[in-house]
């Protein structure tokens, strides 16, 4: 309710200031914004502080969401998985419901949920509005998620509380020479 009132107060102030400035001649959006800020900060400083904080929060939230969404589409070497055979694109984050989780902190179940969502997205590319490049990138990401799931599922069977990062460490250890002893020692070392 307070958000609605805040948005309405801001909209009313914009309409009022816009009418005043328009009567004087040519103006741009910055002129209106500056006048609204002055008006609200002078007339109701407490309300202006709440409006300002809300606007900043919304702006930063949109920026964070865009950056995370972009990072999902770009290869990320920080996971340390790219040295493994057949892994070229491992996202830093996977989308879970309305949020994200770092892929190394995720569980197998969370990876499977993200994989199912990606499959649904790939199916939506059957419609003309979707780009061919994004479809190829998503299909590549899906293959790697399936490969990740196949490579790590056995470790989750042994320890349901394991994270994806720990499972990939064990998988990587199993690929090295004399890996059976290293992987067994790593499993005994406990989940991170």
Torsion-angle region of 176 (φ positive above 0: left; ψ -120 to 50: alpha; else: beta): beta
Check residue 46 and give left, alpha or beta (phi > 0: left; psi -120 to 50: alpha).
Answer: alpha
Q: The whole model's pTM is what?
A: 0.52
Q: Please report, in tens digits, the pLDDT of each residue of the chain (192 residues total).
A: 456 577 788 888 889 988 888 888 888 888 889 999 999 999 888 888 888 898 899 999 999 988 887 776 665 554 555 556 666 666 677 777 778 888 778 888 888 888 888 888 888 777 666 677 878 888 888 888 888 888 888 888 888 788 888 888 888 888 877 655 555 555 555 544
Q: Give me the residue spans of the domains in the chain.
A: 2-72, 77-188
- Cα gap 91→43, rounded to integer Å: 48
Output b/e per residue, 157-173; b: 16+ Cβ within 10 A. Answer: eeeeebbbbbbbbbbbb
| Helices 29-43 + 2-24 axis angle, to 10 | 120
Task: Specify the 3-state DSSP secondary structure of 82.
Answer: coil
Pair 71, 93: CB distance under 8 Å? yes
User: Using CA of residue 92, residue 95, residue 100, residue 102, what is the dihedral sign?
Assistant: negative
- pLDDT for residue 88: 63
Stretch (H or E) spanning 62: helix 45-72
CA atoms in the 13 A half-sphere facing the CB of 59: 6
């Amino acid at each position: 309710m307070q958000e609605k009132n805040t948005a309405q107060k801001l909209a009313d102030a914009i309409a009022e200031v816009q009418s005043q400035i328009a009567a004087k001649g040519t103006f741009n959006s910055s002129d209106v914004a500056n006048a609204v800020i002055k008006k609200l900060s002078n007339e109701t400083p407490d309300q202006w502080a709440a409006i300002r904080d809300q606007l900043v929060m919304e702006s930063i939230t949109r920026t964070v969401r865009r950056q995370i969404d972009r990072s999902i589409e770009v290869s990320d070497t920080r996971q340390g998985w790219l040295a493994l055979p057949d892994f070229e694109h491992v996202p830093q984050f996977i989308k879970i419901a309305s949020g994200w989780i770092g892929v190394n902190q995720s569980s197998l179940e969370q990876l499977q949920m993200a994989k199912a969502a990606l499959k649904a997205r790939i199916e939506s590319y059957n419609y003309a509005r979707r780009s061919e490049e994004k479809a190829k990138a998503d299909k590549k990401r899906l293959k790697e998620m399936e490969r990740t799931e196949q490579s790590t599922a056995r470790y989750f069977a042994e320890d349901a509380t394991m994270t994806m990062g720990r499972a990939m460490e064990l998988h990587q250890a199993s690929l090295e020479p004399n890996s059976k002893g290293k992987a067994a020692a790593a499993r005994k070392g406990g989940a991170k």
